[in-house]
Amino acid sequence: MLRYLLLLLCFPAGNTLLSQNLVVNGGFERQTPKQAGVLQTEPKPCQFAGNALGLNSCAMGWRTFDSHTPDLILWDTLSGCPSFPKPHAGNRMVGLIMYHPFQDGQFAFDYHELIQGTLAKAMVKGKTYRITFWTCTNDSLGVLHLTRVFGRQPVVEGKDKRTNPAGYKSVYCGNFGFYFSEARITAREEFMQSQVDFPVQPQVNVEEIVDTGGEWRKITLSFKADKPYKYFLFGNFFSDAITKINMDPEERRQFDERNQQLNSFWQKIKRIAYYCFDDFSIEEDTGTTMEEALLKEKKYTFESAFLFDTGKSDLKPEAEKTVTLLADILRKNPTLKVEIGGHTDSVGDDASNDLLSERRAQAVYNILITNGVLPEQVSWKGYGARKSVASNNTETGRQKNRRVECRVVE
């Protein structure tokens, strides 16, 4: 069983000129060259895929399992695709089902779609890499996907129509993971069944719910390679029973029980989390981006949810490695004095938020001191919810507000 190695960070925009994206065809724009005797298709604008062939034969460097149907979505450059978001860049993107529990469907296991990307050269053991990708979703994408796949909406007829409705329900979820490997996947494998029998865990995972608010959002992570990996598998590796979604726990339990008791596929309310993805990038991380942010922007921000477990103030073991990078930068720049500020959203009472933000700021401070930063170079303070950078009325805004900032004070 593999363990998590690193965390999600919120890096400032901009990359160094010397950085090189190792992901082959990270934006899905390049067509796989035609090969004699190999069946290939041509992607059609504004359509979902019905099989694995679209990705496997049309997106250079990418691969999926034969039983999965990730969507290689081609944007219509003339009339657009009214039901889809426009790709973050170029004319192509990929759509994946990240959550669809077995209780709602027709399988004995949860249905997720995973894709494998290829690196132009193998990672170097011991080096740290910065991983970025863009994602987008909204309330209609999942419903649209299932409607087109099944051809119609589920309907309950007769006297149960009002009290026992059927249909589709879009949700947002967490567990966006990367599993790095030295070999390509076996396309014939029934991966979700394998996850029940012999589960593997991603080395890097975004556990918290990702709500993009209908816009493209950049996710950045960091990973220290322990082997010369050449491939990565991306998707939701975890059971939907433990995957976080934007439903009340009691409502979620009722959905699970109701759907599991129903024998008719068409009587079930089918929940789905469907996301579009674009512009995957993996680059060697020398800490330059963090250092440039502190020297030029005078601030560097960590998202709290990926430094700490929910409601906790103990740094995750994998998070310490990235905080150590900050310690290296501060030792390199001894005249740079900074404050570590803890921030929360407005959920809960002020006293609890103040205490949590203080403890989290102090946890980061302690790691810096342990790694050789002088006490006179760094201070810490908890601000609770008093310095929000976004609205607390949406999950996207609250996620931005839950953060730890390293701010230059002199």
- Render pLDDT for 273-294 as a digit per residue (tens, 0 to 9): 999 999 999 998 776 678 888 9
Q: From CA 217, how far away is CA 227, in angstroms rounded?
A: 30
Closest C-alpha to 137, from 246, 6, 21, 248? 246
| Contact present, 381 and 361 (Cβ < 8 Å) | yes
The pLDDT of 213-218, averaged and rounded, is 90
pLDDT tens digits along 131-150: 999 999 988 888 888 888 88
pLDDT more than 70, % of the chain: 89
Residue 16 has pLDDT above 70, yes or no: no
Q: What is the pLDDT of residue 19?
A: 56
Which of 175, 249, 179 has the alpha carbon at shortest distance from 210?
175
The per-residue pLDDT of the chain, averaged, comes to 86
User: Model-level pTM?
Assistant: 0.73
Q: Which residue has the tokens 């004095």?
A: 337
pLDDT of residue 103: 92
pLDDT over threshold 60, residue 156: no
H-run or E-run covering 288:
helix 288-292
